[in-house]
Amino acid sequence: MHRKLPLPPTGLMSSIVACLLSFVMIASAQARSLPDFTELVEELKPAVVNISTSQDAGSRRSSDRGSDPRQQMPELFRRFFGDDMFPHRQGPDQRGKRSLGSGFIVSKDGYILTNNHVVEDADHILVRLIDRRELEAELIGSDARSDLALLKIDAKDLPVVKLGNSDNLKVGEWVMAIGSPFGFDYSVTAGIVSAIDRSLPSDNYVPFIQTDVAINPGNSGGPLFNMDGEVVGINSQIYTRSGGFMGLSFAIPMSVAMDVVDQLKEKGHVSRGWLGVVIQEVNKELAESFGLKKAAGALVAEVLEDSPAQAAGLREGDIITKFGDKEIELSADLPHVVGTTKAGSKVPIQIVRNGTMKTLTVKVGDLPDDPEQLTNKKPGNERVNRLGMTVAELTEQIQSKSGINEGVIILQVERGDAAQAGLRRGDIITMLDGKQVVSTDVFEDLVDGLEPGKAVPVRIVRNGRPIFLPLKVTK
């Protein structure tokens, strides 16, 4: 005889059923909220292309001269060359080097956008369309600083992408990439925007879009789409310790890309705004030494000779907090906003100088192509001072070698405030507490006048590079 278990009360049964239905409805709603990329892929992939390049046998370009271009990039940041881009040398009869990447069509008459590093040094560029046609492309122009290249193929009525406004991107929104990783055409990956306006060590003029979209060799130059099917970026780099995808991908914003495209179409090269300063980050200690309430802005470590900054009256030790209508929170913000400013424009700059807010007007210059133009070209009374170091006058030899005419050189650093601040033997001190150091006598007078317990900025030149350090006198 089986024992019958009592049924739960009717009211309790109804509650259980209601809870189960709620869970089902919530799960269903969550499933519906996840994006479905199927229609977008079908609509967008015809405008994505595969790009391969080659060099003629015996061609001597920069990438052939005994070094691997990948080794010139920061160790943890890699652009996406195909593995066959760098074959082992096989003698004079070897076939030309080949690169594999992606691109996308931006006009019906055949203009294609990709990365500069995909087509750099190529003698032949081959574009393969979704209908399997292979067409040789002409390089209209390229820009190494933004890693962009504009190609042109001879074709009409081509499918094109829709161009989006990358300035409207928000962190957390869904994005999708289509490309040819490792040669697998029209591979689709998706993820979210992880950050915007990201600066990378090797690229001062691009405010990158960071995503967690899976990107691998061959995706380089391919489009990054938003959920409206608009291209908002061009996949360019990854952060990696292994050489493969690790969850951090970087894309060039379309706001930057289209400005480059317009200039390449019009004149074949790209012009950028130039201020002519060497800058560094303002950390908490430096902010305290300069009397700032918070660590923000771009600290001017050096003003280049004959530069727009020098003409505008900028000085070493100024902290740029605003350029035009753009707030400068991080020092990396400044190259982005200056680079996109048209040369010849007159722009107000807000600075902090000796604790006082000032506004200057600068006439933005044109960034020089020659890197040499982006830098300045051009022992005596010795005693251990209260900072625990010995300094000397600059000899003619030191002045000639360093290009610095005024300052003092550190001969020795003992235990004390100087060592605590990070000063080293061989550093050249050019400014202390906002005042120019022109001789050892002036320097020692400034040191003797320092107030104990107060942090002050000291400007030094180390290995040819000017930097500020916070210095606090303890006694």
Give catalytic residue positions. 117, 147, 220
Stretch (H or E) spanning 98: strand 98-105
Is residue 256 within 8 Å of 206, Cβ to Cβ?
yes
- Rounded to whole angstroms, how far apart are CA atoms 11 and 101? 64
- Rounded to whole angstroms, how far apart are CA atoms 193 and 120? 29
CB atoms within 10 A of CB 428: 22
- Rounded to whole angstroms, how far apart are CA atoms 174 and 228? 10
The CA-atom distances, in angstroms, between 339 and each of 205, 364, 375, 466 are: 6, 9, 17, 22
Q: What is the DSSP letter of 396?
A: H
CB atoms within 10 A of CB 86: 15
Enter the tokens of residue 310: 């020098």
Q: Where are the alpha helices (DSSP H) in 49-120?
A: 116-119
Place of tokens 């591979």: 187
- Rounded to whole angstroms, how far apart are CA atoms 452 and 409? 23
Give one word for 266, left, alpha or beta, with left for phi > 0 and alpha for psi -120 to 50: alpha
Is residue 273 within 8 Å of 204, Cβ to Cβ?
no
- Rounded to whole angstroms, how far apart are CA atoms 117 and 99? 9
What pairs with residue 250 in β-bridges? Answer: 210, 237
Is residue 423 within 8 Å of 458, Cβ to Cβ?
yes
Backbone torsions φ then ψ of 106, nearest 5 degrees? -110, -5
